Amino acid sequence: MAVESQYVTADVIEAMELPDLSRRYAVRGVPKIVIHETTEFVGALPEAQYLAQVKAAVETNGKKQ
Amino acid sequence: MALISDKDRETIRSRFDESLTGDVEIIMFTERESPIIIPGKEPCETCAQTQELLDEVASLSDKLTLTVHEISAAKDEAQAHGIDRVPAFVFKGASRGQVRFFGIPSGYEFSALIADLIDVSNGTTDLSEETRKYLSELTEDINIKVFTTPT
């Protein structure tokens, strides 16, 4: 997704090596995805559902501002 | 001993030959081993190995280069990429947004690394048209964090 949009930053984080981040985002299973600090899910999703999560995160963020 | 087996090396090399179109610079931030032990400061356990791994990957295609920065000596550059820990690396190529890796890319992360290098080289992905359309219409920043483990 980051390849397609200048607005997207994608971080791939090695959970065991970075326990402080894993704790902060309460990582108990992998892959765990956190979008925009607000939306999160564990496990691989089909692309359409993944996109729905991204949209939900963008919307949630918009409401907060 | 090489970190990538000869067999994997050949597989990756031919995949790169087929798929890479544009140049990609892998910019890595590391911390050299200090001869002094600083209390309260953990030495970087995977920095050397990460660098070795990236070096091996970069050697598999003429289109790939690896630039290594000592983080303490390249604070501005690190900050520009939003990197505050090591080992970490980013790709500079035809990507519109930014892909960052934190920690050693082993296990599943390694295949993500190879796939991402190809996407960044080409500036395209195999995402659906719907996803690409949505992404092209974004007007605010989004950060996606993916946590993985080596196995």
Closest CA to B116 of B92, B85, B140: B92
**Is 70 exceeded by the pLDDT of residue B75?**
yes
- What pLDDT was estimated at residue A38? 85
Q: Please write the tens of the pLDDT for every residue from A21-39.
A: 999 999 998 899 999 888 9
- What pLDDT was estimated at residue B1? 67
- What pLDDT was estimated at residue B81? 95
- What's the DSSP call for residue B37? P
- What pLDDT was estimated at residue B40? 76
- What pLDDT was estimated at residue A1? 87
- By three-state DSSP, how is residue B1 classified? coil
Per CB-CB distance under 8 Å, the chain A contacts of B102 are 11-14, 17-18, 21
- What pLDDT was estimated at residue B108? 80
Q: What is the pTM of this model?
A: 0.92
Per CB-CB distance under 8 Å, the chain B contacts of A3 are 94-97, 99, 116, 119-120, 123-125
Domain assignments of chain B as residue spans, ordered by start: 6-136
- Which residue of B144, B149, B151 to mutate against A (max A Cβ within 10 Å)? B144
Q: What is the ipTM of this complex?
A: 0.93
Residue recorded with tokens 């000596």: B73
A30, A34, A40, A44: CA torsion to nearest 10:
-40
Q: Which of B102, B103, B135 sits opposite A1 (nearest CB)?
A: B135
- Is the domain defined by B6-136 classed in CATH 3.40.30.10? yes
**Is 80 exceeded by the pLDDT of residue B33?**
no
- Which residue of A4, A16, A20, A51 to mutate against B (max B Cβ within 10 Å)? A4
Q: What is chain A's mean pLDDT, rounded? A: 90
**Is 60 exceeded by the pLDDT of residue B76?**
yes
Strands (E), chain A: 8-14, 32-35, 39-42
- What pLDDT was estimated at residue B31? 93
Q: How far apart are the first and last CA of chain A?
A: 23
